[in-house]
Structure 1
Amino acid sequence: MDEGAFTADGCPVEVYRLLPPGDEPGIVHAAIPEGASILELGSGVGRITHALLELGHPVVAVDDSPEMLAHVRADKVCSKIEELRLQRDFDAVLLGSHLVNAASAVDREAFLSTARAHVAPGGRVLVEWHPPEWFESVRDGQGGTLGRVGVRLDQVVRDGDLLSAVVRYSASGRSWSQPFTCRRLDAEALNVALTRAGLVFERWRADDRTWFSATPA
């Protein structure tokens, strides 16, 4: 495995610099008004941030990795999501990267509570998650390419609602590995988590149900 900068939770910074923005910016843009202000929680290197800026949205990017934020060309705050309190509201709060599927219920509630604390009245929280069916379909060797980056899942282990695996990335003769663990949430568990954070499920924002919006209760 090539050496390089890694975040505290094991994310290889160079990989995230290579990954394309994908469909995410378009999904977010379609769900909010033109020029709506956005707080992006867990922005990483700005993969989605920069595309949203180009679409006309002022964005404040939040991440707890200085190595990641060094590549962000926007207003930015270095902070853990659960500790963030900016004392200001945004038209939209973005919680991507499947953070809502955190293995810890305490972490999940904290992430959603931070989103609720920063969304303006009438605003939306936009959440990316792994739907329940994704957990049933994951298998060793599954993967493909994202832009110039090859992606493969290995060492898939299931333990009740928990799923652990290692993501293996490759690009230009280099390789990286990133272990992760996530928790399967059904509709009832998701709604309980949202309710505890003072949010209400609004609607799906992608045909494959990987993104949804929630509003303040």
Structure 2
Amino acid sequence: MARIREGFRGEGPGAFTPDGCAVEMYGILPVREEPDMIALGARDGARTLLELGCGAGRVTHAMVERGWEVTAVDESPEMLDRVRGAETVLSTIEELRLDERFDVVLLGSYLVHQAEAEARKAMLDTCRRHVAADGVVLIQREGRDWHDELPRVNEHPRGAVRILAAEPIGNGVNAMRIEYEFDGMRWAHEFRSRPLTDPEFVAILAESDLMVDAYLDEHRTWARVLPAS
């Protein structure tokens, strides 16, 4: 089992990743709007996708079914063991260096809200390093009220996700607790997240030579991002 990083914790059956994600749970969690957002944000003719933090492949598999060539990256070998139909790469996002550039680079799962500024910049640098000159980076952001009005329950066909707490711990970072219940099994995940206003988001992108081209939904949770130079 992977060693859990400081500030992260996972509870429940099965193996966990270094950031406390339950491998078994991510094998059950259904894909949602991600494939449609990728299709909406990609340029015409785009076919290659670099998926950063692919987990157990819920988005990967949907994109492979749509005919995309997917390179799926994760630091957890247990997660990658569940991925089918894509080229898999065992690596942290921050350290990834491939000799290839992609039509679309996907940074989903709210990873841009990484609490540590250095790690967040390294992730965005990876996005910039691997996007084609005429490609796009798609970034999934937390909603504006994601840390407010808790607890909140999101129902899924096979269960529910309960966002229970967002406790400020200083320096603009919140300690989050989420519980998952699927197919009669339960997991909990504790991690740290940094809310970002629109101006803050734009500013951190600029540090990695990236810029917002458009927001793809009314809640501004999906951003199409381009190389700034």
Smaller-chain TM-score bracket: over 0.9
| 1:209 aligned partner | 220
Q: Does 1:149 align with 2:168?
A: no
| 1:122 aligned partner | 134
After superposition, the Cα gap between the structure-2 partners of 1:206 and 1:65, relative to the gap in structure 1 and judged at 3 Å, is same
Aligned residues: 215
2-side partners of 1:54 and 1:146: how far apart? 22
Matched position secondary structure for 1:81: coil
C-alpha displacement of 1:187: 1.8
C-alpha displacement of 1:176: 0.8
Q: Does 1:87 align with 2:85?
A: no
**1:124-143 deviation per Cα after TM superposition (whole angstroms, max 9, x unaligned):** 000001144433x3413x11
**Normalised TM-score (structure 2):** 0.89
- AA at the equivalent of 1:76: T
Which structure has the highest helix share of the two?
A: 1
| 1:39 aligned partner | 50
Identity %: 40
**Normalised TM-score (structure 1):** 0.94
Q: Does 1:200 align with 2:217?
A: no
| 1:55 aligned partner | 66
Q: Is the 8 A contact 2:46 2:103 kept in 1?
A: no
C-alpha displacement of 1:209: 1.2
Q: Give ranges in structure 1 of 5+ residues lacking alignment.
A: none
C-alpha displacement of 1:35: 4.6
Q: Is the 8 A contact 2:52 2:106 kept in 1?
A: yes
* Mapping of residues 123-202 of structure 1, within 5 Å: 123-135=135-147, 137-140=148-151, 142-159=152-169, 161-202=172-213
Q: Give ranges in structure 2 of 5+ residues lacking alignment.
A: 1-10
Question: RMSD value over aligned CA atoms?
Answer: 1.5
Following TM superposition, the consecutive aligned residue runs of length 4 or more in structure 1 with deviations greater than 3 angstroms are: none
- AA at the equivalent of 1:116: R
Matched position secondary structure for 1:43: coil
2-side partners of 1:203 and 1:36: how far apart? 20
